[in-house]
Amino acid sequence: GSINAEAKTVVPRLVPLLKDSEANVRSSAAYGFKRIGTEAKDAVPQLILRLQDSDVGVRRDAAYALGSISAEAKTIVPQLVPLLKDSDAGVRRDAAYALGSIGAEAKTAAPQLIPLLKDSDVYVRSSAADALRSIGVEDKTVVPQLIPLLKDSDASVRFSAAYALERITLSLQEKAKTLTSSELNQAVSNLESALKVLAEHKDDFSQSTIANLQAYLNILKAEQSDRLFAKSIIQNSYIWGTGIYLFLLLGSFTIRPLWLLKISETLKPK
């Protein structure tokens, strides 16, 4: 809109309002930066200060605005993390949203986001799952925490959990060969549990998500089978070696008469 087009002139005018004595003015100013987005980088220092505002609405809008700006992640992320424990659900929700908006650069916040998957507030749970998906978290402990949310009473939470599982599992299968055997077995077990829940409520979820998760599971299981096969060869090397020797030996007896026949034909007088 017009506010984005005039960001360079609007931002300097809004920044002082973040210090206004009236909470609704501070909140409105923060909301304005939320609409401006990335062009409001100059407001970041003052918005960070508003994260500690005594007014709930100001804290919410300041957090949301910082997520919309998505700049200077190294500075913003550590300031947003404490708000994940705010007494107000709306602040926790918007802090989670902001971290998700920042994306991969907010991975350090994953350990603090995971507990919010059990938050009493529906919107906080949903925002936490969305944030973990957007961040692209690779923490394998997240998957068991997401599975119960597939049965959540709220549809938005269920969808957010399913999409987060899809993203995280994609990351796991791409790195299947680097997982330890314990991690691989756990990943397979977790994914089987998730797919069981999804199958029981398949009409509630995207069929493409279910199909993707099944495909990822198949890849992980294939890696599992390859490792078991390799392990069996190592553990039974004598048996395998004997088998190969006998195969070659029997093969030579099968082939030898053919050689003799060829030699005989060659030596026949013409």
Each residue of 107-136: pLDDT tens digit?
A: 999 999 999 999 999 999 999 999 999 998
Predicted confidence at residue 175, as pLDDT, reads: 82
Count of domains for the chain: 1
Does residue 14 sit within a domain? yes
Residue 139 lies in a domain: no
User: Domain with 10 in it: what CATH number?
Assistant: 1.25.10.10
Residue 256 has pLDDT above 60, yes or no: no
The confidence score (pLDDT) of residue 139 equals 67
Does residue 46 sit within a domain?
yes
Contact criterion met (CB below 8 Å) for 86 and 92: yes
Question: What six digits make up the tokens of 61?
Answer: 């809008």
Q: Name the residue range of residue 105's domain.
A: 1-112
Backbone angles phi, psi at 16, to 5 degrees: -60, -25
Decide if pLDDT at 85 tops 90. Answer: yes
Q: Is the pLDDT of residue 222 over 70?
A: yes
Residue 55 forms part of a structural domain = yes
> What pTM value is reported for the model?
0.79
**Residue 19 confidence class, pLDDT cut points 50, 70, 90:** very high
Per-chain mean pLDDT for the chain: 86
The answer as to whether 120 is a domain residue is no
| pLDDT value at 214 more than 60 | yes
Q: Is residue 174 part of a domain?
A: no
Of 73-82, 175-184, 211-220, 225-234, the range with the lowest mean pLDDT is 225-234
Determine, yes or no, domain membership for 27.
yes
- Domain assignment present for 196: no
Q: Which pLDDT value is given to residue 263?
A: 47
Predicted confidence band of residue 177 (pLDDT cuts 50, 70, 90): confident
Q: Quote the pLDDT of residue 79.
A: 96
Centre a 10 Å sphere on the Cβ of residue 43 and count the other Cβ atoms it contains: 25
